Amino acid sequence: MSRQHFGTDGVRGRVGRGPIVPEFGLRLGHAAGRVLRAAGLQRPTVLVGKDTRVSGYMLEAALECGFAASGCDVVLVGPLPTPGVAYLTRALRLDLGVVISASHNPYEDNGIKFFSAGGSKLPDSWEAEVEAALPSAEGCVPSEQLGKARRLDDAAGRYIEFCKSTFPNHLTLKGLRLVVDCAHGAAYQIAPAVFHELGADVIAIGAQPDGFNINHEVGATAPDALIRAVRANRADYGIALDGDADRLQLVDRHGRLFNGDELLYLLAMDRHPPGVVGTLMTNLAVERALRAAGMEFVRAAVGDRYVLEELLCRGWQLGGEGSGHILLLDRHTTGDGIVAALQMLEMVVRTGRSLVEQLAAVELFPQTLLNVRLTPGTDWRSHAGFSRAHADVQACLDGHGRVLIRPSGTEPVLRIMVEHADPALGRRCAQQLADALRQP
């Protein structure tokens, strides 16, 4: 069955437009509950968490109603990072975790994503089952089978202790001054507490959510606020999370920003695993450096769920994306910005070396990214002029650079990325491809 509502990270869209409307939330909860019961679970229990968007109240109530109508009990935890929902679902031996969040998007958007009983993102096949159940998701089970709902009051405290447990007991963050940017999101109460309780002097920013300011000029997708705060407070490091706290950006005392590709490289060089999973967008310099160090490197499709699938398939533990999704499967079952930050700080404390020092051996290749809007009916794969330009660009790069052509999954746009040590050459090649595509 084709996927009508689920994208690469659950269901997402603009609030007030389908599918992010209350009636769909009710049907989605009902359909997911029916899928759980069809799998043989007689009285499934579902954990529901959310970020700080004002629309979270509406969707939380709709999902609660849908699950209860299908015969599922519901545990509500309120604002909690996405990886916190994954952890508690697993720790409490529940049957499903649900997160109401649009991650790094503005407050006008929202979304719904699911986690398995083991705390991992569910496969496409499970989402297809839910899609198939949506048309008939109505009514309710007999009164004696209806679900109940309760709130878990100590959810934040439980998750704080879990995050702290991923940091070695014999080490401390005492002596470090940290700026923690919570993006006015789900980690606003949790992240500052984690780093403070491990000994750091913490300055929190982006920690005053009002339902409308999530990710607004703060957080992992807007790191300028963090850079300014680190410099103003003379902090050692700055930590930026996004709205649901599953991605990370780091800044050092000089305002130097470390992206996800660099963090992945640093963790790999510190741990030396047999293999590492990146994505189609991971910088070529990282791949070459890891291979030179004796590690295998594999690229997955863009999206942390696909990185996870590749890790599980190969039995590896470390993967990530340039956006800051870092997966450390020896620490957590899903990407976790707080846990990833703790592993980076542990490395700094243990080695006594700054991140810049540890990154000295690799320099990322500049990437040129262009979005070319396609006219309706354009088949870029059979475009003769584009094919010729692509061959010319590959010959020009001569194996010392990389071209990635990727159609958007949400709009009629072709994304062109050219990567080369010479940024001017990369820009010329990307523009050559874009110009060729615009010609009939």
149-151 and 96-100: which strand pairing? unpaired
Q: How many whole angstroms separate alpha carbon 242 and alpha carbon 433?
A: 33
Give the distance from CA 151 to its chain's centroid. Answer: 26
The arrangement of strands across the sheet holding 326-328 comes to: 296-300, 275-279, 318-320, 326-328
103 noted as active-site residue: yes
Closest CA to 236 of 220, 254, 263: 254
- The 10 Å CB-count burial string (b at 16+, else e) for 135-151 is eebeeebeeeeebebee
- CB of 52 closer than 8 Å to CB of 78: no
Q: Any residues with CB less than 8 A from the CB of 294 and at least 6 apart, and which?
A: 272
Active site residue: 55, 101, 103, 120, which one? 103
Give the pair of three-digit tokens for residue 222: 């807007």
Q: Are 285 and 364 in contact (CB under 8 A)?
A: yes
* 64: enclosing H helix or E strand: helix 55-69
The two structure tokens encoding residue 262:
């660099």
Catalytic positions, please?
103
